[in-house]
Structure 1
Amino acid sequence: MLSIGEFASIGRVSVRMLRHYDAIGLLHPAVVDQATGYRSYTPAQIIALNRIVEFKELGLTLDQVRRIVDGEVGTQQLEVMLTTVRAELQRSLIEDAARLDRIDARLRTVRGESVMAQTSSISVDVRSVEPQRVATLTRRAPGYGSENVGPVIGPMYPETERMLDAAGITGYGPAVALYEADESGDGEGMFVIAGFVVPEDTREVPGLDVHEIAAVDLAAVTVHRGEVDGIDDSWMALTDWITQNGYELAGVCREVYWTPGDRPQSEWVTDLVQPVRAVA
């Protein structure tokens, strides 16, 4: 038999973690002294501990690991679990890579390199924007940034399409999105307003808010091409361009998606529209 300290040392986990595994039914000690409560383990249990540590380090939850260890998870279910974790990790890597790019850009600014050189790659059109009649849903996201908005806004468009189709509305599009800060509670969240431009004679669609997005006298508009994970960088480049060219922000921004959602994101074309006014 091995003491809990010896077993923890061999398995390269803490004694506290072993106690936690015992408490949640993940790995019980072989023997518990009834008088002292002291836990002891058999050398053979190191195999079970190694499996627990392996699956935990892969990113599975302890509840998922417990189900695997208890034999409740078949091969197909395990594949689904690992595929889901892999997708989450891949998304995290993409987000981290984008964050590294932004850090590098900010470092270049701190070191005195030309900010204009960083924004010269975008093309900006300053123009008026016509009013648009839209049918939209509103959902709350925990914060700004594609990592917070993406999981919320993604399902909103198929849901809106189903309601428009059910109401017999045809000829709608493109897709639009607006973002408004949530001032309630802790102030961390924001509202995502997403849907489609609809024909001018559309009055009511069950389940959707049919309304008009007001015209904009003056807006700075640029085009983001490709993955939505990189759209934050395009927005920052646009706002940099605005401040460098004699304008200031003058209202809530919007995004207009011209590419059908069933196309690969690498083909997407998105207008970024920011109301502005000339600096006096």
Structure 2
Amino acid sequence: MVCLTLVYTIGEFASIGRVTVRLLRYYDQIGLLAPARVDPVSGYRWYEPEQASTLTRILQLRDFGLKLDDITKIINGRLDRTGEQALLVGARDALQLEIEQNRIRLDRLDGYLRSTQGETPEPTIPVELTRIEPQRVAFATAAAAGWGPINITPVIGPLLGHVADRLEAAGVAQFGPAIAIYQADGSAGVDSDRVRVTAAYVVDHTVRSADGFDVTTLPAIEQAAVAVHHGSVASIDQSWHALMDWADRNGYQPSGVCRELYRTPGSEPQETWVTDLQQPVTHRS
């Protein structure tokens, strides 16, 4: 009696896994999930039933937000349990942050919806009007690929670290807090998605430009609407939107580029960070 091993065509296996044939071919191409065998003449691909559990695991990990490169390492046994746990914890933290951002977004949407129905919305973030004094700063600039934390964070963090290192190398013992300024790159009149990132630290009058940083004085802001953002910079846009909503409702309009002043050392966990959003404004006449 001949025992035949049960196998599935790529179409059958795709149907069982609720994925597309194209996705299975891609997983094979990147070394994530290869067919059990391939006919050398016809090129037909065959999968074994045991591979269904592997496909399910891949789809679960993908749904959790893990990158395909990391999933490949897990599936192919190139990560130990500790490494896999670290990736899963990171994915959980990212999902938790997304939930928090969506909660803030939902609160603001509810307030916006109530305003369209004639209600006066409650402010979602405290804002005060104040004068910002001139500040002497040591700074450096770099370009980010675009707006949003996904583009800004990989640039501003290292750039602040660079300026801090160069200040210490120049013998400057005391400096800070840190300030960041973000401006769309409109140089040479060419359309661009790039953002010019300025990373700075407040310094005293004795500090001069040196290798790795320049020194300038940021002008005073005669009237700034200031809101305090608590927590990760990944959700800072929500606070900025709330600040601009407050300004509009109270008859103010922006008169310059916003500054971010970081009151918490960058070495501290981001959930503990305190950031001042300083938006120059004028009252609409």
Are 1:223 and 1:269, in contact at CA under 8 Å, matched by a contact in 2? no
* C-alpha distance 31-226 of structure 1, shift in aligned 2 (>3 A): closer
Does 259-268 or 14-23 show the bigger shift?
259-268
Structure 2 counterpart of 1:43, one-letter code: P
> Is 1:238 aligned to residue 246 of structure 2?
no
**Residue in structure 1 matched with residue 3 of structure 2 by the alignment:** none
Query: Which residue does the alignment assign to 1:56?
Result: 62
The letter of the residue matching 1:21 is Y
Which of the residues 201, 217, 223 maps onto 1:219? Answer: 223
State the Cα RMSD in Å.
2.9
| Corresponding residue SS for 2:205 | coil
Query: Matched residue of 2:223: which SS?
Result: strand
Question: Which of 160, 164, 167 is 1:157 aligned to?
Answer: 160
Deviation of residue 265 (structure 1)? Answer: 5.0
C-alpha deviation, 1:199, in angstroms: 0.8
Structure 1 position 169 matched with structure 2 position 136:
no
Shift of 1:17: 2.3
Q: Secondary structure at the match of 1:154?
A: helix
Map Cα deviations across residues 5-54 of structure 1 (whole Å, 9 max, x no partner).
Answer: 33333333333322323333333333333443222223333343333333
Matches within 5 A, 1:189-268: 189-216=194-221, 218-229=222-233, 230-263=235-268, 268=273
**What's the secondary structure of 2:216's corresponding residue?**
strand
Query: Which of the residues 181, 184, 187 maps onto 1:181?
Result: 184
Give runs of aligned pairs for residues 81-160 of structure 1, distance below 5 A.
Answer: 81-115=87-121, 117-118=122-123, 122-127=126-131, 129-146=132-149, 148-160=151-163
1:42, 1:106 → 2: CA distance? Answer: 53
Instruction: Name the structure 1 match of 2:72.
Output: 66
TM-score w.r.t. the length of structure 2 is 0.81
* Separation in 1, partners of 2:108, 2:156: 23
Q: Deviation at 1:103?
A: 2.0
**TM-score normalized by structure 1?**
0.82
> Are 1:20 and 2:26 an aligned pair?
yes
Contact 1:219–1:273 under 8 Å retained in 2? no
Using the TM superposition, give the Cα deviation of residue 245 of structure 1 relative to its aligned residue in structure 2, in angstroms. Answer: 4.1
Could you tell me how far apart the structure 2 residues matched to 1:62 and 1:258 are? 37
User: Is the 8 Å Cα contact of residues 139 and 199 (structure 2) preserved in structure 1?
Assistant: yes
Aligned residues: 276
Q: What fraction of aligned residue pairs are identical, expressed as a percent?
A: 44
Matched-pair contact (CA < 8 Å) for 2:8–2:49 = no
Letter in 2 for 1:79: Q
